[in-house]
Amino acid sequence: MKKVTEDCWEGSFPRTNVIWLIYLVDILRLKKSFESRSKDERDLRSLKKHLGKYQSAREALLDPSFGHLFVDPPGI
């Protein structure tokens, strides 16, 4: 993040949100306290790989390839 912000933390840097998402994926993969299947592991690796190409979290969420991950809340 230091590289992205050029050590200027006051500004707005949408890419840092993507970096946080990648970090959270790593936490799920490496420090998980639940039993996962190999498909889960593949999905998380794929998600991390895809996230790396986006410049903002919004850009990632608008990608049609992530549409299947969203579920409508009950009653909507």
Express each pLDDT in 27-76 by its tens digit: 988 876 667 778 888 888 888 998 999 999 889 888 887 767 666 777 76
What letter would DSSP give residue 39?
H
What is this structure's pTM? 0.71
- Residue 45 inside a domain? The answer is yes
Most distant CA atoms of the chain, gap in Å = 45
- Residue 34 inside a domain? The answer is yes
- Residue 2 inside a domain? The answer is no
Residue ranges making up the domain that contains 27: 14-60
- Residue 31 inside a domain? The answer is yes
Number of domains the chain contains: 1
- Residue 35 inside a domain? The answer is yes
**Structure tokens given for 18:** 């993507």
Length of the chain: 76
H or E element that contains 1: none
- Residue 75 inside a domain? The answer is no
d(CA 44, CA 15): 19
- Residue 27 inside a domain? The answer is yes
